[in-house]
Amino acid sequence: QLQLVESGGGLVQPGGSLRLSCAASGFRLDYYAIGWFRQAPGKEREAVSCINSGGRTPNYADSVKGRFTISRDIHNNTAYLQMNSLKPADTAVYYCAAEGLGGCPPAIHIASYEYWGQGTQVTVSS
């Protein structure tokens, strides 16, 4: 079945780092753009980053630019989100999602993403 599974979340102190993984099964990751989203308690889901099906032209929300890096490994059919210099405001459930046309849509177009993972919790606290 077509599935995305996130992993790598956890508890980290401010200034620390985590790397999230998004493992795809049932479809080839290089046919899809992959987006990362997050949702904090009581807040709307927001776009964090996206990379197109060619592994190029990554984009980032202003709040994470310079701190987060999106990447993918075609051999492992897995996308990643490297998160550095984490802040308490980064605390959220993080989701990955796949968009079937291969290009990153505008961040507000959440409906463009066909497949979603179950989410992984990231907590940044001292």
C-alpha–C-alpha distance, residues 3 and 28, integer Å? 11
Count the residues in the chain: 126
Average pLDDT, the chain: 95
User: pLDDT > 70: what percent of the chain?
Assistant: 100
Question: 75 and 25 in contact (C-beta within 8 Å)?
Answer: no
**Six token digits for residue 25:** 């099964």
pLDDT band per the 50, 70, 90 thresholds, residue 90: very high
> Pick from 94, 113, 116: which is nearest to 102 by CA?
113
Question: 6 and 117 in contact (C-beta within 8 Å)?
Answer: yes
Q: Flag whether pLDDT at 107 surpasses 90.
A: no
**Bigger pLDDT: 31 or 16?**
16
Q: Flag whether pLDDT at 109 surpasses 90.
A: no
Lowest mean pLDDT among 9-13, 88-92, 110-114: 110-114
pLDDT band per the 50, 70, 90 thresholds, residue 66: very high
pLDDT at 10: 98
Q: From the CB of residue 88, how many other CB atoms can be counted at a distance below 10 Å?
A: 11
pLDDT band per the 50, 70, 90 thresholds, residue 75: very high
